[in-house]
Amino acid sequence: MHESTLKKLRFLPVVAAVLVAVVIWWNLRAASNQVRLVFSTGSEVGLYHRLASQMRDVIEANHPDILVQLIQSAGSNENITRIDRGQAQLALVQNDARGGNSVHSLASLYPEVLHLLCRADANVASLSDLSGRRVGVGAVGSGTEQVATNLLQFAGVTLEKGQVRHGAFGEAVNQLKAKKIDAAFVLTGLGAEIIRHALADGQLELAPIQIQPDDSTDPEVISRTLTAGFQVHYPYASSHTIPLMAYNGRPVSPVPSLSVQAVLVCQEDVDAEIIERITRTLFKQRAVLSQKETAFTHLDEQGAQLGLQFPLHQGAENFYRRKEPGFLNQHAETMGFVLTLALLSWSVIVWFQRWYLQRRKNRVDTYYKAIDEVIIRLPDITRFEELVELESELTRIDRRASDELIQEKLAADESYVIYQNMLNGCRSMLQQARDRLPDSPETTPDRQPAG
């Protein structure tokens, strides 16, 4: 193989080593750094589950190393329990949910508005009108039940045991239309599909959430006044007014109500860097999320941190306070890999250089040996013809060495200088042998020494 070809191939071991190292590093990094998070949502047809699906999509699209698994639940309280027990790492909960020692907040997402649905013929104009009525207060253990029962107690409305009905939202709507109950509380995001469907045929309507009927006061004033008193006993409630025509032409006038924030929470032990990335992605992708679900239009950095029952997770706080990790901390893993790769590459280069130099040394050693063989044979020469044969052999050795020097198979270094000294010394010895031989022809002007 020519020296030029060897030159082109000399870095193949380096390239191969680098590629192998990159593949191994990438596979190990992907396997070791992949994070799986269980996200506890709500019922399959509920808003919680739809919002969680959209968040999962943007998180996984922007962070391939994070995998999010959605699991359904009965709602906020079950989600809190799962977080506490380590059965989920992410969840959607109401800000007023009970318990949750290991629950930490990422962001307040949107207000869940308390809707009081009633039959149009039930003549319900206030909370006081619910006394003695059959009222749906939501599923057992649900956030709706928690808010509704506390609100009725605050308003002084007493319901007999047989008058309180528990069940999911869809079940409550069906019971209203079947006249099995007179009213039902539904805590959900403004514009929810279940409310829109319930109001579509005019059988049901939204009743104002106020202590006594009052048509003369601004609905927003009623809401603020009621909520201010309610917050003394239930601090995480906020005033809210269901706006005019929020549901395909219904209601025909604003309706006073109250709300509780829906909050994205996580388990305390989830890595801060993961939570920081998730929080950042939600705000960065807010426009995309809002196009899919209008509840995300309420997502706001400043509002997302206010009034939270559960403390902010360190990762979320890092995002809001813009506590960026230092350059060395942020890139320590990559820098370590680059340094390792550089040392590996240098080792391969040094090894190849040594191999290549040894290969050249082995070549010139061949010529040392060839000259030694000529020198060894010199003392045994008795005839002129034998001397001529050795001179010819030395000439062939010199020509081969010169050709390999031109082709760069030999290097013009100290080893080659030693070879030349040996060659010249051998020539001198041949000349001395020529002078000793009795049958050596006289040197004539046109005769040149061998070599």
Q: What is the CATH number of the domain that holds 303?
A: 3.40.190.10
- Count of domains forming the chain: 1
Whether the per-residue pLDDT at 57 is higher than 80: the answer is yes
Sign of CA dihedral 302, 304, 307, 313: negative
Burial (CB < 10 A; 0-12, 13-18, 19+), residue 382, is: exposed
% of residues, the chain, pLDDT over 90? 58
Nearest to 256 by CA among 203, 220, 305, 227: 220
**Within a domain: residue 411?**
no
The more confidently predicted of residues 163 and 436 is: 163
Distance CA 312, CA 308 (A): 8
Nearest to 113 by CA among 258, 281, 244: 258
Which tops the pLDDT comparison, 176 or 394?
A: 176
The pLDDT of residue 329 is: 55
- pLDDT band at residue 447 under the 50/70/90 scheme: very low
Range of the domain at 287: 56-64+68-324
Interval 53-79 mean pLDDT: 95
Query: Would 351 be classed as within a structural domain?
Result: no
pLDDT for the residue 443 = 46
Give the confidence band of 437 by pLDDT, cuts at 50, 70, 90.
confident
Nearest to 196 by CA among 271, 117, 275, 267: 117
Beta bridge mates, 37: 68
The reported pLDDT for the residue numbered 446 is 45
pLDDT band at 29 (very low <50, low <70, confident <90, very high): low
Structural domain includes residue 5: no
Q: How far is CA 67 from the centre of its chain?
A: 8
Residue 335 belongs to a domain:
no
87 within 8 A of 40, measured Cβ to Cβ: yes
Residue 182 has pLDDT above 80, yes or no: yes
Q: Is residue 96 part of a domain?
A: yes
In a domain, 231, yes or no: yes
Is 81 domain-assigned?
yes
How much is the pLDDT for 445?
Answer: 43
In a domain, 122, yes or no: yes
More confident residue, 84 or 12: 84
CA distance 449 to 430: 9
Give 240's pLDDT tier (boundaries 50, 70, 90). very high
Q: Could you read off the pLDDT of 201-225 as tens digits, one per residue?
A: 999 999 999 999 998 999 999 999 9
Which amino acid, one-letter code, is at 75?
G
* pLDDT at residue 102 greater than cutoff 80: yes
Q: What is the dihedral of CA 380, 384, 388, 390, to 10 degrees?
A: 0
Q: Which residues pair with 204 in a beta bridge?
A: 119
Give 347-402 pLDDT, tens digit per residue.
667 655 555 555 555 677 888 888 888 888 888 888 888 888 888 988 988 888 88
Helix axes 384-406, 327-377, angle to 10 degrees: 160
- The larger pLDDT score, comparing residue 387 to residue 17, is at 387
**Long-range contacts, stretch 321-325, CB < 8 angstroms, 24+ apart:** 325/273
pLDDT at 318 over 50: yes
